[in-house]
Amino acid sequence: MRDFLKKRVSDYLHYLQKIRHYSPLTLKTYKSVLFEGLEYVLIDEQGKIIVVDLIPYRNRLVNLNKRTIYKKITIFRSFFEYLKEDGFECKLKGDESIKLPKTLPKPISLQHLNEALDVATLEERVILYLFFALGIRISELCSLKVKDISQKWVNVKGKGGKIRQIPILEELHELLDEFVKKEGCKEYLFEKDGKSMSQNQIRYRFGKVFEKIGIKVTPHQLRHTFATTLLNQGARINDVSQLLGHSWLSTTQIYTKLSATAKMRNYQEAHPLCRSENESG
């Protein structure tokens, strides 16, 4: 079974390269971690389910810094999620996360976004517009149906089945009309063989368009760009939180960091002493 898992690592790396567009350096890191760990994990066949225990491997990592351990465990978790999606019955033990300070995905510049839109196909343009104009998650985009889109609003089904309404820009509405007519969408906005496209299929299309301009971007980065752009332009954090579909305002506060420029502008506009100075000047 250990040799079988090592063979599946090659399939996983191929998937990361072709579908997720990972860099050669990242692929080298993933390969090194997985082959290293597979030498030490315990493998137990419980009926049809293969249980892999990471504890012996984690014991060897105990003297490394927390971030390195976290990264290695995350790589293993991602590998086994890939195996499960591919129909392999398996269970990972000892993969409990290490608490780390929350980090934010780096927003992409509007220049890079416009460059990507310039070289994108119609389908790719729609995907980019939906992520940036609506700030939705990739799971929400996959489940988006044609009937969810009206003249002024998009009904988005978020976590826990909660529905939220997000305003739709006229430019995006026209683009969606063109796309639906051309593709003949029946139920879902993005369909393949009569079913909604999977997250991997969307990721592949998303990654391919940014690959054309020589950069790697994730869908979540566009969601983050949506949020930070609104906040930096003066949108209320409560409104942004609702648009993102966050259950707690604290999630939005961690997720979005205002730039120093935006903080200063908001302070000067809100504080009475600043307003007095502006008026006297």
| Residue from 125, 137, 205, 224 carrying the catalytic annotation | 137
Amino acid at 256: T
Query: In the annotation, is 220 catalytic?
Result: yes
Q: What 8-state DSSP symbol labels residue 86?
A: T
| Residue 277 to residue 239: CA distance in whole angstroms | 30
Contact 79, 34 (CB under 8 A): yes
| Residue from 12, 30, 129, 255 carrying the catalytic annotation | 255
Query: In the annotation, is 271 catalytic?
Result: no
**H helix runs in 184-236, sequence order:** 199-211, 219-232
Taken as a whole, the chain contains a residue count of 281
| Residue from 21, 203, 223, 224 carrying the catalytic annotation | 223
Query: In the annotation, is 275 catalytic?
Result: no
| Residue from 147, 182, 220, 236 carrying the catalytic annotation | 220
Task: Cite the beta strand spans of 59-110 per DSSP E.
Answer: 90-93
Query: In the annotation, is 57 catalytic?
Result: no
Rounded to 10 degrees, the C-alpha dihedral 155/157/160/162 comes to 10
| Residue from 6, 18, 84, 159 carrying the catalytic annotation | 159
Active site residues: 137, 159, 220, 223, 246, 255
